[in-house]
Amino acid sequence: MIARLGRSIRARLALWASVAMALLCLTAGTVLMWTGYHAAVDLRTRDMISDSRRPIHLIKAHELPPAIDGPLKGIQVVDPSGRVASSTPNLAGAPRLSQVMPDPIRSDRVTEACGLPQFRGECQIMVVSRVHRTDGDWLVYAFDPSVPWYIHPAAIGLMAGMSGLLIAISWFGVSRVVAKTLAPVDEITERLNEISRAEEAMRVPVPENADEVKALAEAANRMLARMEAAVEQQRRFASDASHDLRSPITAMRAEVEAAMLAPQETDWRETGRKLMDSLNRLQNIVSDLLTLAKLDAGAPGAFEPVDLAELVAAETTRPRAKKVITSLQPGVVVTGDRLRLARLLTNLLDNAERHADSTILVTVRRNGKAVLEVLDDGAGIAPEQREVVFRRFTRLDASRSRDAGGTGLGLSIAREIAQLHQGTLKIEDSDVGARFVLRIPIRQD
């Protein structure tokens, strides 16, 4: 997909660059054509004025012949009475072609004449010159074809060729530059394909330059690192889950096989009790796995105002093997799922009960946030092990003999519930035992 994205980017940028160059060429060509057209008109007008000076000199010298030759398309000389006194051969016998007169303060006037039948409907540049003589003012009309808007066919061809060349260079140049810029993207794509086909370290190359692509590669590596950690966690989880599920199943199988070998000598009531113990443990593990699956899936909860003091008071009424002492500050209200918070508290109490020597202390107080503490008077947990115990199916070696009743998932579930409530669950320092501290934002009324 990244490769297709890179090709799409290259094609689009090249297309946009070509369109931009085409628009630029069109604009520049329009300006050049407009400038060239007016320059050509001015040049032709000056040439016409210059070529019309010969009949003017002949008029002043009283030597004007009936027919005049010259480079212009046509010339007519009109005498003071308005009669055509002389013209070029192509206009011989033609009536006066125009009544346009020069301005009173100027001797020449330049205009455009169209629709004259003598010139086959072509528009002509017309220069009218006034000649002063003692018998009156004479007029010289000079005609030459107007300059077309494209000036000359060669100019159109040159402009089109240059525009096409510039567009092609733009396409090629932008494609090469973008391809070089996006080359790291191709490397990332190739590496991702290798990762999907082989069990290798899941990382993509990070280019030294190209800040945007470098940021993309670094973000991809962070995502791959999270994926790798998640895959590894799932592998460990599956391995530990299969081990913990296998233990009660193996115990039940052993009890049943032993009973079937000597059915007459078997105490079936004792066998049933042992099977029920294994079934209860198996049920607890499956229940905890289902709870974790729901938490991982982000299953929504019924959030409502929950008074932590009331919750603790209600959950600590059940008799336990160890003494439970509470210190509850009233009015510590949070927004949460009551059932899940009760599950969190129960898991902490069950864990404390398995490890406490005799007493469990539960405290609820307000300290910027709602704080719930569960402290036992057991052996405690070493600082380097305080995060390890929150991993799934984790039991510390020193406490395995005292933790036979746990599934290894209770503390993981408790932390997941804390994070679901935008809170934290940590083990903090204490003079004796393990001190679990939950902090959750206080409800804002």
Judge whether 169 lies within some domain.
yes
Contacts of 22 (CB under 8 A, 6+ apart): 163, 167
CA dihedral 257, 259, 263, 268 (to 10 degrees): -150
What CATH number did the domain enclosing 124 receive? 3.30.450.20
What's the pTM? Answer: 0.49
Specify whether 253 is located in the same domain as 317.
no
Are residue 305 and residue 294 in the same domain, yes or no?
no
Residue 52 lies in a domain: no
Tell me: do 156 and 141 sit in the same domain: no
Amino acid at 240: D
Specify if 53 maps to a domain. no
- Residue 193 domain flag: no
Long-range Cβ contact pairs of 52-55 (< 8 A, separation 24 or more): 52/127, 52/129, 52/140, 52/142, 55/86, 55/140
Please tell me the predicted confidence (pLDDT) of residue 302: 80
Are the C-beta atoms of residues 167 and 21 closer than 8 Å to each other? yes
262 with 366, same domain: the answer is no
Inside any domain, residue 189: no
- Tell me the one-letter amino acid at 138: W
Task: Write down the pLDDT at residue 401.
Answer: 44
Q: What is the CATH number of the domain that holds 285?
A: 1.10.287.130
| Host domain of residue 76 | 60-145
Q: Are residues 284 and 319 in the same domain?
A: no
Question: Which pLDDT does position 313 carry in this prediction?
Answer: 93
Q: How many domains does the chain have?
A: 4
Q: What is the pLDDT along the chain (445 residues), one digit of tens a residue?
A: 444 555 566 667 667 777 777 788 788 878 888 888 888 889 888 888 888 888 889 988 888 899 988 888 899 999 999 999 999 998 888 999 999 999 888 888 999 998 888 888 789 999 999 998 888 899 999 999 988 887 778 878 888 888 888 888 877 877 777 777 667 776 777 776 666 554 555 677 777 665 666 777 778 778 877 777 777 767 766 766 676 677 778 878 888 888 888 888 888 888 888 888 878 877 877 777 777 677 666 666 788 999 999 999 998 988 888 999 999 999 999 999 998 899 899 999 999 999 999 999 999 999 999 999 999 999 889 899 999 888 877 766 544 444 455 667 889 889 989 998 999 999 999 989 999 999 999 998 7
Are 64 and 33 contained in the same domain?
no
Q: What is the CATH number of the domain that holds 378?
A: 3.30.565.10
Quick one: 160 and 25 in the same domain?
yes
pLDDT value at position 400? Answer: 43
Whether 23 and 170 share a structural domain: yes
Say if 201 falls within a structural domain.
no
**Length, in residues, of the chain:** 445
